[in-house]
Structure 1
């Protein structure tokens, strides 16, 4: 197989990020784009790509080797149905669905799919995050006991029709945004969630906006605590109105031997071994660099480019599918548990969420 020919479903903000990163891969090209909005197709910057308004037409097109699904969250099931029938490799953006029923439907069809099905979880592929996770998995912190994550960032970006302002389209902030972090929790701890408690609210953002006559209903700040089946605990601190924060993402693992911190940006990892009370600190800081072109091509600290390299290896049979549909399903389940917890002001056992599917 020569350079892969991609079909892109959804040419909004995330679809265009995929297009820019595919352009960085030698030999790869975008051969077809799909979007019902002509303005989105025009803005994709793919003058040589075949254009379609409907995914069914793409599914019958012979000029592609793999498909990227970057359409609004609630459309994924309907879009994936003809793509599963075609049998092509698929990278489907997170979250794979907005309901457990749809996530289960997708995972059940992805399992026997003859080509790779990959859930797009970019945060795993930020080079500093990959180095951080490798250190945790190598035991540098000892046995992980506590995992803390913080994302303090800007509000949700403007998208076509502001579809991302309504929970019915996104699954809610804890699904749409935080599935990244819930996936990281499972990946880092190598454990499964048991119980979720989330306290969140709609306090600052979008107060003057009206979508279909009402204010957007998406959480803009929250604290979430997750208990895992291996005894570890994880916490996510989210703020969507902290535009001026120096570090957008911070992740810390504290084990029985040391603590390891990740700061993005700038991409620093800080290793702090236990030294005993009163003794001198022995923290060591290292910086993980990221390819400048990859940094410039997206909003995920270079991750989209490195994820594409891993996806392409899987498509070529040179590597495994590293983020499966099952991973995507579990991330949706944790997000829905957090949404339920914030709404009902109670801890939610994960078996409730899985049983609802």
Structure 2
């Protein structure tokens, strides 16, 4: 039995707890969550877990095998460093790894010196339709030359202390929300970005909200274009006031042989009952010769859909991480992967702010 310690048990931390409990062979041993309401909710999900008040107190527990960090973004680096200084256990750390360029070297030091595995929680890699698309992309496209990712979704949800309403604590929308997509771009193309151009802003959401007399400055829409060192190009279209969409994410990869697409519904809990069953994820194959379209359904276990908002991916991610903890398997999403995704998001934010392309 692998025992997890949870650092940060808000909305995303609770999704992790529910999925850990579905794994078999794993349990939540200790929870660190300073907010009373979230602490209570997490305790109800894992009533046998011990509630602790600090990282040192958690790390005194000899029963622990690994850690999950799912705290607000701006705490991640400090908490990883605190763990490293006391008892470096295997960790899975929520995205984004960090929020400012000044933290990049601290993460690089952890990558060099931390003696145990660290896995970055890039859930979108493990959504079943996206995983299928990534697996089949080379064969179906003959090598990706163009990749388009569109996310039309709901606004940012309410989080503890409204930390996700502000660039200073979230890193900005193109870091907080979109590092997932920049990670997918690197993974799908097998290449590194060399130039990023972006346009974005705050058009609709949170305009009339105030927190301690401060107006939210988080963006709700953007376009980003990325040039890669192998000649491939990618584009991200983000709109966070489009929750009426049937599919939340639509990925399209095209190469000389054809096109492959993945369509991912939003969280099942947000689907209106009046419309009947929630949409089924799909993968669409469109070869050039012979031309035509084949649509494949990629259903997800309802128990996994009920356990979180990420199309079952949190479960599949933990299953792979558990293999790392139990048998020394390979970390699939490294600190370097997480750092490069953040660097792309920061570059996109800077491009949109300055109106100039940013070279990497």
- Report the TM-score range of the alignment, normalised by the length of the smaller protein: over 0.9
Q: What does the per-residue CA deviation read over 1:97-140, in whole Å, with 9 as the maximum and x for residues that have no partner? A: 10123233123213332221000000001111111100014x32
| 1:308 counterpart residue number | 318
| 2:297 counterpart residue number | 287
| 2:92 counterpart residue number | 91
Q: What does the per-residue CA deviation read over 1:324-357, in whole Å, with 9 as the maximum and x for residues that have no partner? A: 000000000000001101111111111xxxxxxx
Q: What does the per-residue CA deviation read over 1:183-207, in whole Å, with 9 as the maximum and x for residues that have no partner? A: 0000010000001111101000001
In 2, the alpha carbon distance for the partners of 1:198 and 1:88 equals 38
| 1:56 counterpart residue number | 56
> 310-319 or 63-72, which moves further after superposition?
310-319
The yes-or-no answer on 1:47 pairing with 2:47 is: yes
**Following superposition of structure 1 onto structure 2, how do residues 214-229 of structure 1 map, counting pairs within 5 Å?**
214-229=214-229
| 1:17 counterpart residue number | 15
In 1, the alpha carbon distance for the partners of 2:326 and 2:262 equals 32
**Contact 1:96–1:103 (CA<8 Å) still a contact in 2?**
no
| 1:28 counterpart residue number | 26
Match of 2:358 among 339, 348, 352: 348
What's the offset of the Cα at 1:315? 1.1
**Match of 1:316, SS?**
helix
**Match of 1:151, SS?**
strand
In 2, the alpha carbon distance for the partners of 1:177 and 1:301 equals 16
User: Which structure 2 residue ranges, 5 or more long, are not aligned?
Assistant: 266-279
User: Which structure 1 residue ranges, 5 or more long, are not aligned?
Assistant: 351-357
**Contact 1:35–1:41 (CA<8 Å) still a contact in 2?**
yes
In 2, the alpha carbon distance for the partners of 1:310 and 1:104 equals 27
What's the offset of the Cα at 1:318? 4.8
**Contact 2:144–2:188 (CA<8 Å) still a contact in 1?**
no
**Following superposition of structure 1 onto structure 2, how do residues 124-143 of structure 1 map, counting pairs within 5 Å?**
124-137=125-138, 139-143=139-143
| 2:288 counterpart residue number | 274
**Contact 1:59–1:82 (CA<8 Å) still a contact in 2?**
no
| 2:114 counterpart residue number | 113
Aligned length: 343
> 203-212 or 175-184, which moves further after superposition?
203-212
Give TM-score scaled by structure 1 length: 0.94
**Following superposition of structure 1 onto structure 2, how do residues 136-175 of structure 1 map, counting pairs within 5 Å?**
136-137=137-138, 139-175=139-175
In 1, the alpha carbon distance for the partners of 2:234 and 2:160 equals 34
| 1:339 counterpart residue number | 349
**Structure 1 moving runs of 4+ over 3 Å:** none
**Match of 1:162, SS?**
helix
**Contact 2:143–2:256 (CA<8 Å) still a contact in 1?**
yes
**Contact 1:6–1:67 (CA<8 Å) still a contact in 2?**
yes
| 1:194 counterpart residue number | 194
In 2, the alpha carbon distance for the partners of 1:141 and 1:191 equals 16
